[in-house]
Structure formats: C-alpha cells, structure tokens
Amino acid sequence: METPLRKDDEIPLKGIRPNIVQSIRAFRVPELQEAATKLNQHFLYANLGNAQSKQDILDMIAAQYTFPAHVGKNFDALYDCMTDLVHKSGPQPGFIVVLEQIPAHAKFDKEAREQLLDIFRDAADYWADRKIPFRCFYSFL
C-alpha cells in the first residue's frame, strides 16, 4: 500500500512554468536550492549585490557559476555558455538559476538590467526547444 504524500514530498515548484524568468518574489534561495536537489537539476546561484558595472556583473556570474573565464567578456559569451557550451557537455536534467541583488543604479541602469534578463529569457527559450526545464529567478538590489 502506498503512503500518502507528506508536505515535504510534494513536487517542488509545482505550478511554475518549466521555462521562465521571473522575480524571486515568494521564494527564498534555500527553497530553490532544495527544489533543484529534489528535481535533480543544476542549481546556479549568483549574488550580484557588490557589482558596480556590466563588467562586474559578467565577472561575478562567470565566477559564481564556475564558467570559463571568457564568459566574463560580454553578454553574447554569457548566452553561449548558458546554452551551447552546456548543451555540448552532455544531457542536462534541468536548471534552477538565481540572480540575486541585480544592481539598480546609474552604472547598471534599467536598459542594462533588461539586457541581462533577456540573456536568461533567451536561454529559457533555448532549453524549452530541447524540452529541458530552465527556471530563472531574480531580484534587484
């Protein structure tokens, strides 16, 4: 006889589309990390709170996601690493990505923030085409 599901056995992120970029809102980072573990997906986390420029953002993401150094050069390299490079490394189970405390100041203005998020939206689309979940959660500083 099967035992009924307990609250901790519920499907993580149920009701959240598998390929989306959205504000972290009601989620906490430890919950997202736990969800990635339960779903057997990659968990990528970057805290960008100390970044002062686009270059800082790229360098911090590359370092915290343990990507190759060339990722820190520009947004195109970041996109390539989030998609093609990872895809070529073998079958992927899915991704839960967190960009915490994206700066909101003159050196990283609204346009720059949208460009950054567009990279992750495009990556979500790339993985959706391959039927691989890619959820990205972000917050602003």
pLDDT band at 9; cut points 50, 70, 90:
low
Residues 80-105: tens digit of each pLDDT: 999 988 888 889 999 999 999 999 98
Q: Are 106 and 113 in contact (CB under 8 A)?
A: no
Q: Which pLDDT score is estimated for 106?
A: 86
Give the closest residue to 64 by CA, choosing from 80, 84, 47, 81.
47
Residues 27-54: tens digit of each pLDDT: 999 999 999 999 999 999 999 999 999 9
Q: Cα–Cα distance between 7 and 119 in angstroms, integer?
A: 35
Written out in words, the top-level CATH class of the domain with range 18-140 is alpha beta
Please determine, for residue 70, whether its predicted confidence score (pLDDT) is greater than 60.
yes
Q: Which pLDDT score is estimated for 6?
A: 43
Q: Cα–Cα distance between 85 and 135 in angstroms, integer?
A: 18
Please determine, for residue 71, whether its predicted confidence score (pLDDT) is greater than 80.
no
More confident residue, 71 or 82: 82
Give Cα 46 distance to the centre of its chain: 8
Domain residues of the chain, as ranges? 18-140
- Tell me the pTM: 0.89
